[in-house]
Structure 1
């Protein structure tokens, strides 16, 4: 495998957000219930926590009080580094 090859490790991050907080965070979107709005919310959250993950698909459910997001967050993995660590 080429030492410059990178793959992505995917983690699912789960969020429970008060509906009002969520809606106030996505005011730039005409439809706050579209995936781009969900992704925006997660991206902004990751920025505030200095998390360099790359946001992929985000699924949403909600009830009258909360918005529940399930976000696939991807992290690059350099195989050469991983192989070197495995040899230790």
Structure 2
């Protein structure tokens, strides 16, 4: 058998083993699906965002902070993210 034949057999074997491993991983019983997201809560979460701006040539940097309120209720959050004409 030539070198090309051995290389072909090796690549086919590796491909078949890889496909079998992927199928076994996706069908294994230890893989349980948990619901995504979080439970809806009451109140808001405060998120602090810091922005930096640098002016060209001066070397000064200003830092501006902003506090954003993010609701824990997914329905209220979805309504807030809708465009203004769709609310």
TM-score scaled by length of structure 1: 0.22
- TM-score, normalised by the number of residues in structure 2: 0.22
Answer 1 or 2: higher relative contact order, Cα 8 Å, separation at least 6.
1
Structure with the larger helix share: 2
- Based on CA coordinates, which of the two structures has the bigger radius of gyration? 2
